[in-house]
Chains A and B, each alone.
Chain A
Amino acid sequence: MSLQAATNDVYLDIQKRLYQEARLLSAEQYDDWVLMLSDKLYYRMDMPQKRLREDKVSDRAPAKTPIFNDNLDSLKIRIGRFKTGFVWSENPMNSSRHIVSNVEVFNTSKTGQFKVYSIVELHRSRLDSERKRFTVGREDIWNKSAEGYQLLERIMTLDDSVVLDSNMNFFL
């Protein structure tokens, strides 16, 4: 099925929303971020594996292993952990920048629901000279609601088969 591009108006509205979201995530304004999330949120990232191209994933291949597999409730628990003030590794605050690009927006079969592809690159400046960088492809479903566009589903593809930071105390 070929995808039908959304109108330019919708594209711009959703792009604005993604930029706003990136700014909130970089600033750790998670209470504001939660307002952008649907009550029925599905938020998922799997652990990548290096497989041979000819080795087709079959039924008996191991199940996918999640790094994030969250709904709104479990995401709020993760956020609650940061809000306790007891997550010592985030004090002083690590500087981070979420850079969003390659945004594409398509209509779906449901009115007011849009499929959105994007790439997010996270730069983390940690202690002294430590720099960390994550690149992640995202496939989202955004839902137009009275509160503006809300994130219903986000499937993230991490590019590393070995995670190269001592924690993932962030959201993408």
Chain B
Amino acid sequence: MKQELDDLIDFKTGRQKRLIYSDAHIYKLEMEKIFGRSWLFLAHDCQLEKPGDFVRTFMGEDEVLVVRQTDNSVKAFLNTCTHRGNRLCKADHGNSKTFVCNYHGWSFGFDGELTSVPLEDAAYKNNLDKSKFGMVEVEQIANYKGLIFATFDKEAPSLEDSLGEMKWYMDIWLDAMPEGTELVGTAMKVELPVNWKLAIENVSGDGYHLGWAHAGAMTVTAESGLAGLSVGNSEVDNAAAVSVAGMNGNTVLAALDGKSGYAFYNEYQKIWDYLDENRETAVERLGPFRGEKMWGSQINMTIFPNLQFLPGLNWFRVYHPKGPGKFEMWTWAMVDKRMTDEMKEIILNNVSRTFGPAGMFDNDDGDNLAAATQQSSGWRSSQMDLYANMALGVEHSREEMPGVVSEGLVCEQNQRYVYRRWLEMMKADSWADIPFYNSLEEARATEGKS
């Protein structure tokens, strides 16, 4: 099996076998080996303000309820009755003191305990030990600067170790301002007939498609003076941007100009004023390099396997796989808490207008990725290969930043590292077999070691 898996991915040449986008067995193994044991994003702290606040979400294809507790901690439970398996809660989010099963009326407190069972005395003859039938809790849960993650694997290393040096980049958004971040509005949900990995690789490293796939949106935003930074503007050229990978599968695509993140905003001057007013705070908290060159820049961040967020463009997105050829994509607008309500409104509208369900940019991607999924499903096409082999052999280290670095946004280094992580996790029997690396040196030393 491990040999077969090795044939699917070649890190050195950037090759992937198309089978990985369509095969049901491979997908099932992904649910076990990747989604079954990775730290997966559940919710932002701001979604769970008061005890009893909950959101319903997914870990792989498992449905979970994430609930704020009386002691302010957060618990995550499988959203299923422990009696006969019915779903406990159908709402997207809300506040509830109890979760009552619609089938037989078993009632669970929001701490997960089974509190009442109809006909307990008469039918169960007082033989039901209710303490053994509470809602099933997810094994580990942790919070990194407002983002709540969980894993089904009790052996998984800590969230912080898993994120590794990626934290250095995440802090550019999560920790630039002392109050941190919050989501505005609710999730914009879209179902797409796409294999989840194709969406991840697209945002993780594919700056190549921007000018072509999004030519319509790029042209019209530039023509209408919306952009602030027009297409091809030297301020977002390859010399002023980096692709960063080799951080346990997590990746970054970043401009280094400190303001291009707001390129597609029609009221970008207000945001630029905000950046000017708060630049000093950012530099104080993040140091001069991140504070001046990265805070405010267009940055794509990917937390392996299924979370992506783009400070600047201000969208925050999680992908929930629904089979080899389908996923749900949930997109929020995320902002600095200290921004004014007016700015938050501007950002929410811009996220919706660019990357929402009718977003002028997002609406260019769906069909391309759906077709790539379908074109990996034929008897012949599934045996074909795909290549992410741009800019092979140019990766290096840079003193100012952690991880493995290649210059430019148009470079396929990050995709190669995403698939490398995919293979490492798919092959490993346990977390002990999954290598950790956060620099070029470590990435080279661990290559092929899973």
Contact = CB atoms under 8 A, between A and B. Distances in A.
Interface stretch (B4-12, B153-161, B282-290, B349-357): B349-357
A79 to B, nearest CB: 9
Interface stretch (B88-96, B107-115, B129-137, B243-251): B88-96
Interface string A60-83: 101111111100001001101110
A166 B367 contact: yes
A136 to B, nearest CB: 12
Contacts of B47: 62
A57 B186 CA distance: 13
Contacts of A63: 184-185, 348
- The prevalent SS among residues of B at the interface is mixed
Interface stretch (A5-13, A23-31, A86-94, A95-103): A86-94
Contacts of B367: 88-89, 166-167
A168 B189 contact: no
Nearest to A55: B94
Interface of B: 47, 49, 90-96, 183-194, 213, 215-217, 219-221, 223-224, 226, 266, 328, 333, 348-349, 352-353, 356-358, 360, 362-364, 366-368, 370
B363 A66 contact: no
Interface stretch (A43-51, A107-115, A116-124, A139-147): A43-51
A169 interface: yes
A47 B189 contact: yes
- The prevalent SS among residues of A at the interface is loop
Interface stretch (A14-22, A34-42, A157-165): A157-165
Contacts of B93: 49, 51, 62
A47 B216 CA distance: 25
Given A80-B220, A81-B220, A87-B364, A64 B94 contact: no
Contact of A162 (B95, B96, B189, B220): B189
A81 B213 CA distance: 12
Given A65-B352, A168-B358, A161 B94 contact: no
A167 B348 contact: no
A1 interface: no
Given A62-B185, A65-B348, A162-B189, A51 B360 contact: no
B323 to A, nearest CB: 15
30 contacts: A49-B92, A51-B91, A52-B91, A62-B183, A62-B185, A62-B186, A64-B186, A65-B188, A65-B356, A66-B185, A67-B357, A68-B358, A69-B349, A74-B353, A81-B217, A84-B220, A87-B363, A87-B364, A88-B368, A89-B363, A89-B364, A89-B366, A166-B190, A166-B192, A166-B366, A167-B362, A167-B364, A167-B366, A168-B358, A168-B363
Contact of A65 (B185, B190, B221, B266): B185
B352 A66 contact: yes
B188 A86 contact: no
A52 B89 CA distance: 9
Contact of B216 (A49, A81, A162, A168): A81
A168 B192 CA distance: 12
Given A62-B185, A67-B357, A89-B364, A162 B191 contact: yes
A170 to B, nearest CB: 9
B196 to A, nearest CB: 14
Nearest to B363: A167
A166 B198 CA distance: 14
A75 B183 CA distance: 26
A72 B95 CA distance: 38
Closest 5 CB pairs of A and B: A166-B366, A65-B185, A167-B363, A86-B215, A86-B216
Given A51-B91, A65-B185, A167-B358, 4 more contacts: A62-B186, A65-B356, A81-B220, A167-B364
A67 B185 CA distance: 11
A83 to B, nearest CB: 8
Contacts of B358: 45, 67-68, 167-168
Nearest to B358: A168
B360 A78 contact: yes
